[in-house]
Amino acid sequence: MNLPYSDELHIEYLSRLFDNTSECYKFFWFKAILEKVVAGHTEIAFEELVDDMIASAWYMVTEYHLNLGPKDTLESLVNLIKDKNPSFTSNIKKPELIAYLSETQDKEINSKKRTLILNVPYRLQAPFVPGIKGKAWDVPKDILIENINNHNGIMYYFLGLNGLLSKIIVKDEWVNYFVKNQEIIRGWLEYNMILYLQRRNPNVPGIADKLYPPQERKLDDVKKYWKLILTVSPEPVEEIYGKTILTPNDISIDHFVPWSYVAHDEMWNLNPTTRSINSSKSNNLPEWNTYFERLAELEYRSYRMMRKYDIVRKEFKKCAKKHFNDDKIKYRIYESEIEYEQFQKELEAVILPVYKSAQNCGFMEWKYPENGKI
């Protein structure tokens, strides 16, 4: 992916920003700079950028369980903050998290924040200072800052050295370039982040959908489909977790394997439950040995009704247009005339590998309380 050309800037240096990236810090540091500049800030403290890095990584680590690097300080810092603040949800608003980070006096957190500025503020500009090589990077920071500031083509220069209170000033010509080409640069940054995260998380689907906070899922068509089944069914329909009888007035669509892992709304992974139970299950995996068979039985029931009633089949086809990306799976499970044993076998062959992969990424198993109290 090419960056826009400039007569006055070394865009070839910018394009090499993420060469030989073994850790994630460069991506988040540059992303923080870009967002600050676009928002009108050109003199920026290290701590502001570090707090933004943490907030940007928050959702990737707490919601999506992505691996950011082999010994990643940013990832471990996010987990530390989460452990120290159990009330912080995985979808906490960014301004609220930033406010906490800017005010916290926690020594352990602030120590790890300082670790994040040991190298990345300087090393990010390595392509712009080709004269600095090898051991020249290992000199005291005040000398390194002086050496970098003496180069004309850099993106930003350093204003003193004072730990997290140190500041950078982004040069005017780069400010203009970033503001003018912000959408293209964001796309280029996201593309490089996706490539990096795919290498670190080779078995995780939907990386492109996991760079930002989770969006509200739009499953009204699937909800309409299940409400129709409730209406047509001659017998009450129970959801699979608490065996609660479903009603059209209290129905919520659950991703059996959490959306934050699969990053899709495939029909075979969706089932109806109540709003309160769905909230209780949250971002967890249902205990397989307890719930998969119930899921298969409920799905097979809807499958039989879909084949029996034209009105249900019509609604199913509407959902299928949006909620089946693999026609082979749709045919194997829902289009063929098969008995329950084969249906269960086919559904398990699709879901179980995804379930196991989510387990390996750290998603926890969950079981609905036997007393029904949430």
Residue appearing with tokens 């790890």: 112
300 and 170 both lie in a single domain: no
Q: What is the pLDDT of residue 371?
A: 63
290 and 334 both lie in a single domain: yes
pLDDT digits (tens, 9 = 90+) for 160-201: 899 999 999 999 999 999 999 999 999 999 999 999 999 999
Question: In the predicted model, is pLDDT for residue 216 greater than 80?
Answer: no
Backbone phi and psi for residue 273, each to the nearest 5 degrees, phi listed first: -150, -170
pLDDT digits (tens, 9 = 90+) for 42-101: 999 999 999 999 999 999 999 999 999 877 789 999 999 999 999 998 888 999 999 999
Backbone phi and psi for residue 176, each to the nearest 5 degrees, phi listed first: -60, -40
Is residue 107 situated within a structural domain? yes
pLDDT digits (tens, 9 = 90+) for 1-27: 789 999 989 999 999 999 878 789 999
Give the Å distances, CA to CA, from 310 to 18, 304, 347. Answer: 55, 11, 23
- Could you say which of 140, 174, 209 is where a domain stops? 209
Number of domains in the chain: 2
Is residue 1 situated within a structural domain? no
pLDDT digits (tens, 9 = 90+) for 322-352: 898 887 888 888 877 889 999 999 999 999 9
Is residue 205 situated within a structural domain? yes
Question: In the predicted model, is pLDDT for residue 373 greater than 60?
Answer: no
List the structure tokens of 270. Answer: 């969706």
Q: What is the pLDDT of residue 90?
A: 85
Is residue 128 situated within a structural domain? yes
Question: In the predicted model, is pLDDT for residue 263 greater than 80?
Answer: yes
131 and 88 both lie in a single domain: yes
Q: What is the pLDDT of residue 19?
A: 87
pLDDT digits (tens, 9 = 90+) for 136-157: 999 999 999 999 999 988 999 9
- Could you say which of 175, 191, 209 is where a domain stops? 209
The stretch 221-239 carries a mean pLDDT of: 94
Neighbours of 306 (CB within 10 A): 20
239 and 333 both lie in a single domain: yes
Residue appearing with tokens 């701590």: 47
Is residue 339 situated within a structural domain? yes
162 and 288 both lie in a single domain: no
302 and 170 both lie in a single domain: no
247 and 306 both lie in a single domain: yes
Q: What is the pLDDT of residue 97?
A: 96
171 and 65 both lie in a single domain: yes
Burial class of residue 326 in the structure, from the number of CB atoms within 10 Å of its CB (0-12 exposed, 13-18 middle, 19+ buried): exposed
Is residue 239 situated within a structural domain? yes
- Could you say which of 188, 209, 230 is where a domain stops? 209
Q: What is the pLDDT of residue 359?
A: 93
Q: 349: domain range?
A: 219-366
Q: What is the pLDDT of residue 28?
A: 96
User: Residue 273: beta bridge partners?
Assistant: 252
pLDDT digits (tens, 9 = 90+) for 268-295: 999 999 999 999 999 899 999 999 999 9
Is residue 131 situated within a structural domain? yes
